[in-house]
Structure 1
Amino acid sequence: MLPPDAEVLLDAPDDLMGPALVEAAGGDPAPVAELLAATRRGGSWEQRDRYVRRVAAFARARPEWLDVWRARDPRDPDGLLVDAQRAVDRAWASPTRAELLREVSPLITAAARADHGDPVPWRLALDHARGARAGHTYFEELWEAAIRRAPHHHGCHVAALRYLATSWHGSHHECFDFADLAAQDAPEDSLTQTLPLRAAFGYLTDRCGPEVPRARLDAAADRAAALSARLPEGRPAPAEPRNLLTYVLVRLERWRDALEQLRLTGPYATSFPWDRDADDPLGRFLEVRQSVRVAVASGCPERGSGAPAAASGRPGSERGGRLRFGDH
């Protein structure tokens, strides 16, 4: 049983972040600051990374409270990190991205120096390097610094995978090799288990490069599904990996598996990956959800492992390790 369309929320904050953002909207940065400080003290890096991106997005639309925070305590590691994320996000949205990204480098450096054990500034530095078109040697130096702090940090691995995909467009086999190795090395409850799913998404949404065997795409989805089964049902935190897994399962025409992920997701839609296909990600999510329901109810044939790819070379097409740059 899936929740009604009217109850589905897009990019909903969790029970801790929601009230903190309400206070920030009223001009008080203290609850957000306390929440981020707790993630840093507790070494909750995945949660911290998710919170930083969420808070920075909120600050782009409502900046006054962050400006107050930064003025009160310019050296606060959490305020520095949110400010750096906001600056990078703003630069990414600009036509002069590379130039603007170079200008925000000091902010990222300050955030990294404010807490030497925090990997999240290094994830941000990896994203920044991709946008600034940094060379491979410099990127690998950043990567080594990131994994020294948190060897299995999901955000840093996603940033590295994106850099590989951007630098060698169409090199999907290399991206899968990197993602598979990282997932094999990661603990079974780590979000890095979903890195091959990211590689599958990159392949399925790219019309460039050699064909990837169907079995490899299914294995990536199966690995992510195994992690999803261990995560709490109907909660905001696992919503993004489950939305991504649903997207990939639909492209693979695995309707029943996609319906199961929609059940586990509950009322939580996320902009990514649905904004890849539509300007209205919530509308797209609801549209796909209904299509999955209909496919399952009508007994629509499913593709299994080893099934041939669609004629386009991409199934269902409709619209860790260490980086080894020398291998490419």
Structure 2
Amino acid sequence: MKILLWVVLTPVALLVLVAGVYFLKAIIEGAVEGWRSDPGAEEAAAKAAERVAALGLLAPERQHTKLSAPQPQALTVALAAARAGDWEPSAALLDGTAAARDWERRTAYVEKLADVAAEDDAWLAAWEAARPDDPGAALVRARGSVFLAWKVRGAKRAQYTSSEQFEGFHRTLARTRHEHARAAELAVPGDPSPYVGEIWTAIGLGYPHEEMHRIWRDITSRDPHHYEAHFSALQYWCGKWRGSEELARAFAVKAAAAAPPGTLMKVFPLIAHFEHDDSDSADVDRTPEMYAAVDAALADAAAADPDHPRLAEVRHLLAYYLYLQERWEPALEQFRLVDGYVDALPWRYRGDPAGEFCRMRDESAVNAADAAASGRSGGAGDAAGAGEVPA
């Protein structure tokens, strides 16, 4: 009898249990769906999407993660030709920068070409064979070896990098000292490019400060306000490499103080701050000193040549700090000027550069529109360049 009872009741119990689980699942899903379909949240999201679309801003999946700004057509052609084995467009490109004495653009082009050479240098070897003492080829060779060394090392922290990787890194980087020296011997008179490229060898090999000072004199005697040189040197002086927070900030302040408007040097105090900021609060970005630093960099960017190859990098960082200072209208303006490209500070330090860029950009767009609708000028701290701190 007991056995018969178990036979009858067991399926019933299982059916009740399954039904209970089903209804519990339905209740939970309903609750979650209720949270997801919060009318207020949905309305805010729709409102934000409408404003972003009206401004013609691009979605995260349409942001270019390998560039900070549109790439010049001549450089695009040279890079494609180099990957196909043809060196002549690269040679013509660098010949043009030498003739124009455009050192900023020259180092920017060398950096891109060197990255290709680090992957496959057959085209560069053909260039060197055809023009053995070409100053452009020597620059690409030295910088390409630096890129190769860092690729051998990998991007992971030291504790996750093998001894074999470190050996290959130091061995490859050591030979760049000779290659930088040769590039300097062949250089066009007045060209700081060989010394700018050597800074990353100094960082990797740990040049003493006296040696870095020597490199810096070689650069500034030729081009005292070279942006890439200052950016790379600031990395050397940062605490994470061969300096300290104090040395990095001192270097940045000195560079900014000595530079005329339009050179983009005013951004370096912001970069030094960014590199050493480990706080969890935006309060450190809303001090009188930071408002003044952002305003100075804004004025510097406004005075710069619109075709300056590094201007977009400055705008990216300005957008970030204007957002943190809740200065929505000027933040949105900087975001709009660089929209579509996210390979710059601070986004390249983020796990999802495009997502982070778009999140801050969209919030700036919504708040700027709200401020305009209510008759305000653009959010707390927007002093239209006056460096005013909100009460």
- The reply to whether TM is greater than 0.5 is yes
2:380 counterpart SS class: coil
- Out of 6, 9, 15, the residue aligned to residue 64 of structure 2 is 9
Q: CA deviation at 1:161?
A: 1.8
2:341 to 268, 273, 285: 268
TM-score (norm 2): 0.68
In structure 2, how many angstroms separate the alpha carbons of the residues matched to 1:213 and 1:3?
Answer: 27
Greater Cα offset, 133-142 or 99-108: 99-108
Structure 1's 71 and 307: CA in aligned 2 closer, same or farther, altered over 3 A? farther
Paired with 1:268 and 1:231, the residues of 2 have a C-alpha distance of: 20
**Cα distance in 1, alignment partners of residues 106 and 289 from structure 2:** 31
1:31 to 2:89 alignment = yes
8 A contact 1:2–1:262 mirrored in 2 = no
CA change 1:144–1:231 in 2 (3 A) is closer
Residues 38 and 193 from structure 1, CA distance in 2 versus in 1: closer, same or farther, beyond 3 angstroms? farther
SS at match of 1:149: coil
C-alpha change, 1:237 and 1:271, in structure 2 (3 Å) is closer
Q: Deviations over 1:286-305 (max 9, x none)?
A: 33322332343455953565
Check whether the contact 2:105–2:309 (CA below 8 A) recurs between aligned residues: no
Q: What residue ranges of structure 1 are gaps of 5+ in the alignment?
A: 309-328
Question: In the aligned structure 2, how far is the partner of 1:234 from the partner of 1:126?
Answer: 25
Q: Which one has the largest radius of gyration?
A: 2
Pairing 1:1-328 to 2, within 5 Å after superposition: 1-5=55-59, 8-10=63-65, 11=67, 12-93=70-151, 94=153, 95-96=165-166, 97-115=169-187, 116-165=189-238, 166-171=241-246, 174-204=247-277, 214-231=287-304, 238-278=311-351, 280-299=352-371, 302-303=380-381, 305-306=388-389
**Aligned-pair distance for 1:7?**
5.3
Moved more, 231-240 or 160-169: 231-240
Aligned equivalents of 2:299 and 2:226: distance in 1? 19
> C-alpha separation between the residues in 1 aligned to 2:370 and 2:233?
41
Q: CA deviation at 1:215?
A: 2.1
How far apart are the structure 2 equivalents of 1:235 and 1:104? Answer: 28
Relative distance call for 1:187 and 1:2 in structure 2 (3 A) is farther
The answer as to whether partners of 1:204 and 1:251 remain within 8 angstroms in 2 is: no
- Rate the CA distance shift 1:125–1:272 in 2: closer, same or farther, 3 A: same
Relative to total residues, which structure has the larger helix share, 1 or 2?
Answer: 2
**Residues in 1 aligned to 2:170 and 2:320: alpha-carbon distance in whole angstroms:** 30
Q: What is the TM-score when the length of structure 1 is the normalising length?
A: 0.80
The Cα offsets for residues 136-158 of structure 1, whole Å up to 9 and x where unpaired, read as 11111111111111122122222
Secondary structure of the residue aligned to 1:128 is helix
1:284, distance to aligned residue in structure 2 (A): 3.3
Q: Is the 2:262–2:302 contact (alpha carbons within 8 Å) kept by the matching residues of 1?
A: no
SS in 2 for 1:143: helix
Distance (Å, rounded) in 2 between the aligned partners of 1:49 and 1:234: 15
Residue deviations 1:209-264 (CA, integer Å, cap 9, x gap):
xx798222222221221132245769975322211222233334433222110122
**How many residues end up aligned between the 2 structures?**
302
Cα RMSD after superposing both structures: 2.9
Say which SS state the counterpart of residue 176 (structure 1) adopts: helix
Percent of aligned positions with the same letter in both sequences? 31
Q: What's the offset of the Cα at 1:38?
A: 1.2
Q: Tell me the distance in 1 between the aligned counterparts of 2:63 and 2:354.
A: 8
2:360, 2:131 → 1: CA distance? 46
Q: Is the 8 A contact 1:13 1:236 kept in 2?
A: no
Letter matched to residue 93 of structure 2: L
d(CA) in 2 for partners of 1:256, 1:204: 25
Q: Secondary structure at the match of 1:167?
A: coil
Are the counterparts in 2 of residues 233 and 264 from structure 1 also a CA contact under 8 Å?
no
For residues 114 and 206 of structure 1, the distance between their equivalents in structure 2, rounded to whole angstroms, comes to 46
Q: 1:268/1:229 Cα in 2 relative to 1: closer, same or farther (>3 Å)?
A: farther
